[in-house]
Structure 1
Amino acid sequence: MARKKKEIHKVEMTDGKRAIIQQLFQEYNIESATDIQDALKDLLGGTIKQMMETEMDEHLGYSKSERSDSENARNGYKTKRVNSSYGSFQIDVPQDRQSSFQPQVVKKRQKDISAIDEKIISMYAKGMTTRQISETLEDIYGFEASEGFISDVTDK
């Protein structure tokens, strides 16, 4: 029985990728592979936080900067330690006063996001459309995310 060869990712450098890499070097003072890994954890944590903020906006029906007469409102953050393929780090999970917010990006009691982080970074790196990202999120989390939701996340 023949073994399947593992697909090798071929890196293609574009001007846009070079610019991003230069920004990373400047922003994170990268000098080693560990520095790169720390930068990726930071970027992943920020991306997840923004996605959760967008989920909270959808849950409450208004954005963070708007006022509302709703009985339910934002109620700070709760820190959560998660494990990823880049190591362990903390994220801030938004809370609501009625405790009815059910995050989908990183679900309650979910500690390992290894598969999620790889796919999120892959989506951004490939320059996927909102429809493609929506389909991928449905594949990852099993929930349907509207293209408007994806657009809000990518805008943030």
Structure 2
Amino acid sequence: MGKRKERLTEGKKNIIADLIREYDIQSAEDIQDALKDLLGGTIESMLAAEMDNHLGYSPYERTDVENARNGKKQKTIRSKYGEMEI
């Protein structure tokens, strides 16, 4: 049995239109670049939230615990969309 395709809702159409405008999408390559950017941003946000949860406090928040943040640096990750910096 094949997967049934969902119809695009008005909300999804609006999101797509916003992305086309935001990223000035003109080609399939532009779509891939936009997906890489969105995926990288999503992963970076998830990692930051995971660190907040693990340490128990937000960045720049003063705390008396010994386990402290010591900065961050750029990383390269690989996905099916190619390499991206986070």
TM-score bucket (shorter structure): 0.7 to 0.9
Task: Give the Cα–Cα distance (whole angstroms) in 2 for the partners of residues 61 and 11 of structure 1.
Answer: 40
In structure 2, which of residues 11, 14, 19 is the aligned counterpart of residue 19 of structure 1?
Answer: 14
TM-score w.r.t. the length of structure 2 is 0.86
> Could you say which residue in structure 1 is the equivalent of 2:52?
57
For residues 68-100 of structure 1, the C-alpha deviation after alignment (integer angstroms, 9 at most, x for no partner) is: 122222222132222111111112xxxxxxxxx
1:67 and 2:62 aligned: yes
Larger Rg: 2
The residue type equivalent to 1:44 in the other structure is: L
The residue type equivalent to 1:41 in the other structure is: K
CA RMSD, 1 decimal: 1.7
> How does 1:32-111 map onto structure 2 within 5 Å?
32-91=27-86
Could you list the runs of 5+ residues in structure 1 that have no partner in the other structure?
92-156
Q: 1:39/1:9 Cα in 2 relative to 1: closer, same or farther (>3 Å)?
A: farther
Task: Give the Cα–Cα distance (whole angstroms) in 1 for the partners of residues 9 and 55 of structure 2.
Answer: 40
The residue type equivalent to 2:83 in the other structure is: S
Question: Per the alignment, in what secondary structure is the counterpart of residue 13 of structure 2?
Answer: helix
Task: Give the Cα–Cα distance (whole angstroms) in 2 for the partners of residues 9 and 25 of structure 1.
Answer: 26
> Could you say which residue in structure 2 is the equivalent of 1:100?
none
Shift of 1:8: 4.8
Task: Give the Cα–Cα distance (whole angstroms) in 2 for the partners of residues 72 and 26 of structure 1.
Answer: 43
Shift of 1:11: 4.4
Q: 1:55/1:84 Cα in 2 relative to 1: closer, same or farther (>3 Å)?
A: same
For residues 105-147 of structure 1, the C-alpha deviation after alignment (integer angstroms, 9 at most, x for no partner) is: xxxxxxxxxxxxxxxxxxxxxxxxxxxxxxxxxxxxxxxxxxx
**Which runs of at least 4 in structure 1 moved beyond 4 Å after TM superposition?**
none
TM-score w.r.t. the length of structure 1 is 0.50
Larger strand fraction of residues: 1
The residue type equivalent to 2:72 in the other structure is: Y
Task: Give the Cα–Cα distance (whole angstroms) in 2 for the partners of residues 86 and 9 of structure 1.
Answer: 25
Size of the aligned set, in residue pairs, is: 86
